[in-house]
Amino acid sequence: MSNAAINAVFADSISKGVARLVLLSIADRADERGKAFCGVGDICRRTNASRGQVFAAINSLKQLGELTSESFAGPNRCNVYRLGDRLKIGPSEIQTVRKSDSEGLDSRLKGSGNQTQTPINPKEPQRGARTSFDPRSLTLPFSSESFRTAWDDWIQHRIELRKPVTATAAAKQLKQFEQMGEAASIASIETSVRNGWRGIFPDKAGQSAMKAAPERRDIVSHKTPPRVVT
């Protein structure tokens, strides 16, 4: 937690309402450079806001220049957030650290004359590195906010299980949802998340109800007709 980041939000941010609350939540997780690792679910719990409200707030903060983000770029593929440059975090030496970190230079060698400056944590290419894929960027078969929220919940659920949805799996799941229909798809997602499943299955409660209906009709059709007394 960085008190300097929180103070910068109070002093310099022009955000309001849910957006300001989301920014404070991220700042509370940030280090002295203004960088924070947290998921959307964590922000929802801390701000008591819906996922749709949090996504809208993050987009608003990006437009204000008060926040940047990278999806799945942190430990365990969590999101990485950085407070924007318009937020002045703490004293000038902290600003120097943020600048040197972005340039890959050691801030401790700043202004040290002719000393050789060495890069901080030089990044080397990793073998088999996977390209970043965000299932939230795909075109969904249904445009309602309810389905968008359910899909976001499913993606976050798989991230928390450390089994992120792959591009191939996401494409097949969305095709399956299109065949199932919107209501059945949302119910199936909620059932899988509630039970901690890694896959999507047709809603069992809905199937049970559909099976029970014909049985009841059979019972009614076999009722003995009333006897007529003559």
- Which pTM was predicted? 0.41
pLDDT, residue 12, reads 86
Contact of 189 with 153, CB cutoff 8 Å: yes
Q: How far apart are CA 148 and CA 65, in angstroms?
A: 26
The residue whose two tokens read 């073998």 is: 127
Collapsing DSSP to helix, strand or coil, 69 comes out as strand
pLDDT, residue 187, reads 92
**Low-confidence residues in the chain, pLDDT < 50:** 92-98, 100, 105, 120, 122, 125, 128-129, 205, 208-210, 212-213, 215-221, 230
Collapsing DSSP to helix, strand or coil, 68 comes out as strand
- Which ranges in 119-203 belong to alpha helices (H)? 145-160, 167-180, 182-195
Q: Which long-range contacts (CB under 8 A, 24 or more apart) does 141-147 make?
A: 141/174, 141/175, 141/177, 141/178, 141/182, 141/185, 142/177, 142/182, 142/185, 144/182, 145/52, 146/182, 146/186, 147/177, 147/182, 147/185, 147/186
pLDDT, mean over the chain: 76
The residue whose two tokens read 């987009």 is: 59
pLDDT, residue 209, reads 43
Count of residues in the chain: 230
pLDDT, residue 100, reads 47
